[in-house]
Structure 1
């Protein structure tokens, strides 16, 4: 046997209104349509649920037993409708974001704060860390991924795609009392730079990989003088005079470090691209669409190629 919710709700309306015609008026349906619902429900139960009584009806024992279940169904459906209305109004929902530490700290946090102020009912979850350790398993399990490198398209779930999100410049960072800074220089080329000790971020750092790729293209290799983990350790090592490091120019604009910066390999500089992995339009939640709009990304641009 199979019960349709509409049949049960029709039965409930008729039972509470005291008649088929009155129940049809409550439901704003025709009386024949409601009668057909009741007939189907009677067949599914296997016995009559009501009897005619004058101009109204009287419930049978089976009808009386079914009535509380029908009321609970109405209550649950009302809760579902309320939940859907809150989702639609972005008063409830979730947004799950994955980002590298650099992207999260210097490119996303202010956007997330703004999103929370606009939609305080949305539960926001942000996971950060070295991306290569776990990013492949996060594909499809999270709503948005902000990456420092492009991901192999073959690794993306079928309903996800990636696109360039924003560009930034990587610069050399060095102490303010370094001779190059005192000379008033604005940039340094690779051969001269590599005569200095270098402070490197950990191998999974997107900044490090971008610099290493640029050196490889130039046919150069750097000495691995010092290697540290994390942007804070990099800052402290460079400030202590252990060598020259590399960092995002935009990130430096957002913090007050006692360091100077120089453009790499001028005049072009070293530009890197950050990528966004997102669901295609039919698979985007309302929260995802709202966040994409907030960061200046057109949600409808995420169409199947």
Structure 2
């Protein structure tokens, strides 16, 4: 039983006329008769009782009629739904992003996306960098944003920009008057950072260990916003990716260039190499790349 046969059966059942059904379907009566015959043969019995003067449904035809109506309605609804998704009139896409990106640059990109595709639902998973990669690998999301992962054949990474770590100090700190800081100057103060296994924390520890030894932490938190507020209140200093500069300023802290050593790493988009993106995910990827190119301060 196929779609063409069901449409032919429904047309004849509704009109009780092969001539009228043929006109509706733009089929000749012989072609229509062959289509109905093929349906009856596939089901194993007669659906229409035909004479030279009339056409009537057999009991089996009566039983098939409401089912045929429902099947064709479901098909048409599914066809329309897919058409809307392919043309980005409807759909859903899931993305995972590390908190430093999700809370700073992602909202602006999502605003651009929403303006263009108002009926696409976007699910954002705000998770640590390591979880971003795992969610992409296990197909829980189509797109991920985070620090560049180790080389892999299964995951494609497209860099947005090379981010660097900057110092975060209280606005009324003497350090806030300087144009740049060294790590030695920064680490002479109480240090505040994210808890493990945050990628930010691990990168900081790895970056300073060779020249300054183990990172001594006075306060730690799971949220960058909490780190920024503690710095703003004068509890200590911190270091965060440059993409968090605006967020730190909004929290009342100040960001200053940080050198010796310069800790930097690419931030970009992750997706599975063997997975074709949905139309919605492809559109979101295009917007993210466009917004990344339009952020000169971070390039």
- TM-score bucket of the superposed structures, by smaller chain: 0.7 to 0.9
- Partners of 1:101 and 1:129 within 8 A in 2: yes
Of 97, 100, 103, which aligns to 1:102? Answer: 100
| Distance change (3 Å), C-alpha of 1:51 and 1:262 | same
Q: 1: CA distance between counterparts of 2:150 and 2:74?
A: 43
More displaced, 73-82 or 189-198?
189-198
Partner of 2:252: 258
Partner of 2:296: none
2:263 is aligned with 1:270:
yes
CA drift at 1:137: 5.0
CA drift at 1:30: 4.7
Tell me the TM-score normalized by structure 1: 0.81
Partner of 1:198: 191
SS in 2 for 1:204: coil
2:147 is aligned with 1:148:
yes
CA drift at 1:293: 1.8
CA drift at 1:215: 1.7
CA drift at 1:76: 1.6
CA drift at 1:116: 2.7
Q: 2: CA distance between counterparts of 1:243 and 1:208?
A: 16
Give the RMSD, CA atoms, in angstroms.
Answer: 2.9
Q: 2: CA distance between counterparts of 1:47 and 1:201?
A: 72
Q: 2: CA distance between counterparts of 1:45 and 1:250?
A: 65
Partner of 1:167: 162
SS in 1 for 2:7: helix
Tell me the TM-score normalized by structure 2: 0.83
Partner of 2:23: 25
SS in 2 for 1:39: helix
| Distance change (3 Å), C-alpha of 1:137 and 1:111 | closer
Partner of 2:215: 222
Deviations 1:180-222 (Å, cap 9, x if unpaired)? 333xx22122334333332222123333222222224547433
Q: 2: CA distance between counterparts of 1:66 and 1:181?
A: 79
Of 67, 74, 86, which aligns to 2:84? Answer: 86
Identify unmatched segments of 5+ residues in structure 1. Answer: 299-305
Partner of 2:134: 136
* Number of aligned positions between the proteins: 289
Q: 1: CA distance between counterparts of 2:283 and 2:131?
A: 29
CA drift at 1:105: 0.5
Partner of 1:34: 32
Partner of 1:301: none
| Distance change (3 Å), C-alpha of 1:111 and 1:137 | closer
Q: 2: CA distance between counterparts of 1:280 and 1:149?
A: 15
- Partners of 1:20 and 1:56 within 8 A in 2: no
